[in-house]
Structure 1
């Protein structure tokens, strides 16, 4: 986990020669799912929540944009701070694909539940105008959220995000 934080810090602070930076706000719905596996059985639960946050678009080149975000994600009894570090690849002037790692800090964990989630995200964004865009992303949770989980036991949190954004 320390290596991931170090890579993120190097990426953010190492991009001093970037040509442009845009900041903005985004918000939308999160359709979260928790998958629990134990002894060959699997159970999934789903909840709908919302997210709100801020992002930066850092132009690295004409064909690559680094987009770090910080978002508050509220899901019934499982709020978190999400930090996706996305590569944004423009496919056309209005349409971009997104992919990258994501960190999540669960805010209200109970006993036996880890507070650090990590995973990968992929999605797309469409610019409606110079300032407004819509986005859809899927976050695949890779961390087992059960502390000291016995072999064969796991609990993973994933989510599908759909929202709008405004570039300042």
Structure 2
């Protein structure tokens, strides 16, 4: 079974289990991402390259208890010549009515690599609720391997 289908099935399974027990919101999101490559050029020191891309996707927000939520997402990311899926699973905490912090792992499937297409990264994010349905979010993704760079995502989410 292709990894994309596995990730999609996992997203549906998590959604089905938690929707039976908790209040659930679904939505769409999108925005810009900035990826930071740290490349050492001969003996001249570090050269940090930044590449800009876009992302779109869907999310589900499952209330676990009080101010804690589980928020899995499935995002399609276009970054120059690279296209990949990003599937973070966040533990979300509501600091107050408008401000949230999100932390968790993200699984990434790269369509354009010849080998090692599946990568795991760590995400730290913040969201600010502009309205009850619209939020402004930012997340920072940390890559654990040289070929998996760090990234900053800025965008909007809309609850359906």
Question: Residues of 2 paired with 1:139 and 1:70: CA distance?
Answer: 15
Aligned residues: 149
Segments of 4+ moved more than 2 angstroms: 11-19, 34-45
Match of 1:140 in 2: 142
143, 148, 155: which one aligns with 1:156: 148
Match of 2:124 in 1: 122
List gaps (5 residues or longer) in structure 1. Answer: 145-153
38, 52, 55: which one aligns with 2:56: 52
Give the secondary structure class of the aligned counterpart of 1:156. coil
Asked if 2 retains the 8 angstrom alpha-carbon contact of 1:23 and 1:167, the reply is: yes
Question: Residues of 1 paired with 2:106 and 2:41: CA distance?
Answer: 25
Alignment of 1:99-110 (within 5 A): 99-109=103-113
CA offset at residue 14 of structure 1?
5.1
CA offset at residue 69 of structure 1?
0.2
55, 68, 71: which one aligns with 2:72: 68
Residues 103-147 of structure 1: per-residue CA shift (max 9 Å, x gap) = 1101112x4x521121100011011111111000000011x3xxx
CA offset at residue 157 of structure 1?
1.7
Asked if 2 retains the 8 angstrom alpha-carbon contact of 1:36 and 1:155, the reply is: no
Cα–Cα, structure 1 residues 16 and 39, in superposed 2: closer, same or farther, change >3 Å? farther
TM (norm. structure 1) is 0.79
Alignment of 1:90-101 (within 5 A): 90-101=94-105
Question: Residues of 1 paired with 2:77 and 2:27: CA distance?
Answer: 17
Match of 2:25 in 1: 22
List gaps (5 residues or longer) in structure 2. Answer: 1-6
Q: CA RMSD in A?
A: 2.5
Cα–Cα, structure 1 residues 116 and 28, in superposed 2: closer, same or farther, change >3 Å? same
CA offset at residue 63 of structure 1?
1.8
